[in-house]
Each structure stands twice: as structure tokens, then as C-alpha cells.
């Protein structure tokens, strides 16, 4: 079965001129198809690849986000818990956050963000090969939210799955989506991150209820020969056996009961001081390591787009990096902590506020429950040129693979 699938895949690559007829096909160990810069063909000691095999990258060609209409201000919170607008601003930098309405879910917000990303990319959902959905707050355990989004947008040729690495989820998803493209398995991947964290907040706990909001953001990744998209990445984890950041009940270890619901064990708990120290250390180190893998310095970075946890963490990370304040994009004041959705929402707002030029380097960095952390160095593509080339040559490098038509046999 494996040899049959491999042969089928080789024929597809030859047909699409990704490997020449008669040439030895690239393997999973080919450094050309690895994501991390340490295994990149330009890295020292990397193996050689055939000269006539084009480089293959995964450019961001579309983006979009969605947030609920309902705004919950700090003044509104004063009526719920013992707090004040001044206290919240001083400790978090947050002024307001968006709260999902009764008819809004993680999948509905993610679907809207996905449609806007596809519109931005000038693509149809049927052009996608894969949907990756990052979320900590899925609609259900089954079906997975990624499949719900896939069906609602009409991505009839796409596989779909969820990623749960908490607030790091979008960066993890971006790394995985890039790997699917660079390996030749996919041509276009949608990475969407959505959260409805307000439904897991203890509205009697002033230390956590002030932090979180709801929303979704998405990007389209597309195969290209232009050196763009993910240049390097860092991922890490440390099992949170001490439950610094947790939702204790609702899983198989502690199924829902009347007692767990009454005790509020399905709601977010956090040991703030310890999470703060972990976040600053991990984000600053991950960003530094990712830049090192890409062979870049901070001076080569156009903007750092971090997970929008709270302003104190962002400022401490900026100082730890030695980064000029104007090079870190911050929008936590308007949305609070939207979990996995915070990085793509911030990216969309950055792109709406200023022009990111082809060749500009961005750094995405995040931390989350698990505990997890990740950073990605992304080179911005010439999106207009890629879109124009796609329209002029619809069956070149970016031809949809229609993987759903390959049915495994015994």
C-alpha cells in the first residue's frame, strides 16, 4: 500500500513539474522539504538536492478575522466583580474585549474569518487541500471544529483537523501547514484559529475574567517558488503538572458531573505570577532562537507580532529582546486575550494599518497552556505577483491536488 501511494504521489509531482521525469523523487529526509532552518538547504552542512528541482515555499496570500459585535468594557466589569477601569488598565493594558453572542460559536467566528481570508487571497474554498483549526474552545469534542469549518465554507477537496496547544495554536498550525506544502502533499492550506473563551471564564474571579475575549483569525498558505513564508521556527513544551493554567474538568480524567459544574471546575484557573515569568522567558528565547535559525538579527525584523496576553507581558518581552517599542505590534487594549486567535487577529490589523512590503520579515511568537511556546520567522511574499501568476498559470505550481480522490486500499 505504501509503495502504491508513493508511486501515485511521484506521478503527481512529475505531472506538475515539481520533480523531473526520470529523476529520483525527494524523500521525507530531503532537507529541501524540511521546515526548520537548521535543516534548510541553505543551512551549513545541509544535503544537496537536484538542481532542476524548484524551491518550494508556503507564502501567506490571504488573511481575515472576525470578532463578535458585543463589546464588554472595563466599566461593564465593575458591575460584575470588585475591580475598576484604572486597575484593569494598569495591570493588563486592556480597555475592552469582544464577547460572543448566544448564536455565535468558535466555528461560526472561524468560518467568517476563513471566508474573509479566502476572499483576500482571491480563492474559492474548493481550491483548498487542507484546513487546520487551532482552538482551545471547540464547539464539541466531536465533530472537530476544523471539519465543521471545512463543511461550512465548502472546502470539498480538503482534509481537516484541530490543533489544541492553547494560545500557541495558530503558530503551531502555521508551522504544520507549511510542512504540508513544502513536502508536496498540499498546494493550499487554510490555517484558522478561533476561540470563545468567554464561555470558560469564571465571572466571579477578577484576576481572570478581565483578561479574555472571543474572536477568530485565518490565513491562506500557498505553494510558491518565491523564497517567502516560514523561514524558520521554534516549538517547545513543558508538561504543566502543576496546573499553572488549566481547565480542570470536562475531559476523560474528570468527566462532567453535578459536583464539577457546581465547583466551577470547567472554568479557567491561572497562577498569574508564575505564568508571567514563564511567558516572558519563553517568548523572548523562542523569538531569539527562531531569528538565529533564519540567520537574521533583530535589525532585520519589520515587526514582531506576539500573542496578545496582556500589556505587562508584552512590554517585558519587548525589553528582554531589546526590541524598539515601535517594532512590536500591540492591539490587546481592544480585544484582550483571544487565545489562539490573537496572533492572526493582530496580523490582520497590522496589514490594515500599514503596508508590509515583499521581503519584509515578521516574527510571530506565542505561549500557552500545556505549557507550550513557539515562534516563527515569516518573510512576506509579493502577494500581488503571486496572485497574478496564479491567474495567468492556473495549472502550475499551485494546482490543487484534490487529495480526497486518493482512496487508500488494503
Residues of the chain with pLDDT > 70, as a percent, come to: 83
Q: How far apart are CA 91 and CA 294, in angstroms?
A: 35
Q: What is the pLDDT of residues 377-393, one digit of tens each?
A: 999 999 999 999 888 87
Q: What angle do CA 353, 355, 360 make, to 5 degrees?
A: 125
Would you say 168 and 370 are in contact if contact means Cβ atoms under 8 Å apart?
A: yes
Would you say 3 and 35 are in contact if contact means Cβ atoms under 8 Å apart?
A: no
Q: What is the pTM of this model?
A: 0.84
Catalytic residues: 167, 307, 337
The secondary structure of the chain in percent helix, strand, coil, rounded to multiples of 5, reads 40, 20, 40
Please tell me whether residue 154 adopts helix, strand or coil conformation: coil
Would you say 272 and 310 are in contact if contact means Cβ atoms under 8 Å apart?
A: no
The CATH classification number of 57-405 equals: 3.40.47.10
pLDDT for the residue numbered 391:
84
Q: What is the DSSP letter of 173?
A: H
Report, as an integer, the average pLDDT of 102-118: 98
Q: How far apart are CA 217 and CA 325, in angstroms?
A: 24
pLDDT for the residue numbered 267:
93
Please tell me whether residue 190 adopts helix, strand or coil conformation: strand
pLDDT for the residue numbered 6:
41
Here the cell at position 376 is: 516563527
Q: How far is CA 316 from the centre of its chain?
A: 23
Report, as an integer, the average pLDDT of 318-339: 97
- Cβ within 8 Å of residue 238, ≥6 positions away: 370, 371
pLDDT for the residue numbered 309:
96
Confidence of residue 38 (pLDDT cuts 50, 70, 90): very low
Nearest to 48 by CA among 24, 28, 32: 32
pLDDT for the residue numbered 406:
43
Q: How far apart are CA 320 and CA 198, in angstroms?
A: 31
pLDDT for the residue numbered 272:
86
Q: Give the H/E segment covering residue 373.
A: strand 372-379
pLDDT for the residue numbered 235:
97
Q: Domain map of the chain by residue range?
A: 2-39, 57-405
Sequence length of the chain is 410
Report, as an integer, the average pLDDT of 289-299: 97
Q: How far apart are CA 320 and CA 298, in angstroms?
A: 12
Weakest-pLDDT range from 51-55, 308-312, 388-392:
51-55
Would you say 307 and 369 are in contact if contact means Cβ atoms under 8 Å apart?
A: no
Confidence of residue 192 (pLDDT cuts 50, 70, 90): very high
Weakest-pLDDT range from 165-179, 344-358, 392-406:
392-406
Q: What is the DSSP letter of 337?
A: B
Report, as an integer, the average pLDDT of 150-179: 98
Q: What is the pLDDT of residues 345-356, one digit of tens each?
A: 999 999 999 999
Would you say 226 and 59 are in contact if contact means Cβ atoms under 8 Å apart?
A: yes
For 19, phi then psi, to 5°, come to: -135, 145
pLDDT for the residue numbered 29:
37
Amino acid at each position: 500500500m505504501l509503495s502504491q501511494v508513493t508511486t501515485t504521489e511521484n506521478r503527481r509531482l512529475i505531472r506538475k513539474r515539481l520533480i523531473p521525469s526520470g529523476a529520483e523523487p525527494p524523500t521525507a529526509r530531503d532537507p529541501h522539504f524540511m521546515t526548520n532552518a537548521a535543516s534548510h538547504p541553505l543551512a551549513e552542512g545541509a544535503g544537496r538536492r537536484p538542481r532542476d528541482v524548484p524551491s518550494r515555499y508556503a507564502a501567506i496570500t490571504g488573511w481575515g478575522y472576525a470578532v463578535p459585535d458585543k463589546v464588554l468594557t472595563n466599566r461593564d466589569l465593575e458591575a460584575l466583580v470588585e475591580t475598576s477601569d484604572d486597575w484593569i488598565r494598569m495591570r493588563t493594558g486592556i480597555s475592552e474585549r469582544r464577547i460572543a453572542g448566544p448564536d455565535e460559536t468558535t466555528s461560526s467566528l472561524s468560518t467568517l474569518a476563513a471566508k474573509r481570508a479566502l476572499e483576500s487571497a482571491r480563492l474559492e474554498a474548493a481550491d483548498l487541500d487542507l484546513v487546520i483549526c487551532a482552538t482551545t474552545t471547540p464547539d464539541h469534542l466531536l465533530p472537530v471544529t476544523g471539519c465543521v469549518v471545512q463543511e461550512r465554507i465548502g472546502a470539498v477537496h480538503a482534509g481537516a483537523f484541530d490543533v489544541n496547544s492553547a494560545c500557541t495554536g495558530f503558530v503551531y498550525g502555521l508551522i504544520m501547514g507549511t510542512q504540508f506544502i513544502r513536502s508536496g502533499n498540499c498546494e493550499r492550506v487554510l490555517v484558522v484559529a478561533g476561540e470563545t473563551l468567554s464561555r470558560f471564564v469564571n465571572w466571579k474571579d477578577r484576576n481572570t475574567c478581565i483578561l479574555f475575549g472571543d474572536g477568530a483569525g485565518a490565513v491562506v498558505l500557498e505553494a510558491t517558488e518565491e523564497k517567502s513564508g516560514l523561514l524558520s521556527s521554534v516549538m517547545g513544551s513543558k508538561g504543566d503538572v502543576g496546573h499553572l493554567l488549566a481547565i480542570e474538568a470536562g475531559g476523560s480524567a474528570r468527566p462532567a458531573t453535578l459536583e464539577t459544574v457546581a465547583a466551577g471546575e470547567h472554568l479557567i484557573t491561572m497562577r498569574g505570577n508564575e505564568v508571567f515569568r514563564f511567558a516572558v522567558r519563553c517568548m523572548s528565547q523562542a523569538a531569539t532562537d527562531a531569528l538565529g535559525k533564519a540567520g537574521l538579527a533583530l535589525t532585520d525584523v519589520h515587526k514582531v507580532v506576539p500573542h496578545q496576553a496582556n500589556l505587562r507581558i508584552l512590554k517585558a518581552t519587548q525589553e528582554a529582546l531589546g526590541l524598539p517599542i515601535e517594532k512590536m505590534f500591540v492591539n490587546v487594549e481592544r480585544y484582550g486575550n483571544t487565545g489562539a486567535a490573537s496572533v492572526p487577529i493582530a496580523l490582520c490589523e497590522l496589514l490594515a494599518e500599514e503596508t508590509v512590503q515583499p521581503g519584509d520579515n515578521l516574527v510571530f511568537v506565542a505561549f500557552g497552556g500545556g505549557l507550550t511556546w513557539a515562534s516563527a520567522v515569516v518573510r512576506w511574499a509579493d502577494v500581488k505577483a503571486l496572485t497574478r501568476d496564479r491567474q495567468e498559470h492556473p495549472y502550475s505550481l499551485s494546482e490543487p491536488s484534490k487529495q480526497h480522490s486518493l482512496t487508500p486500499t488494503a
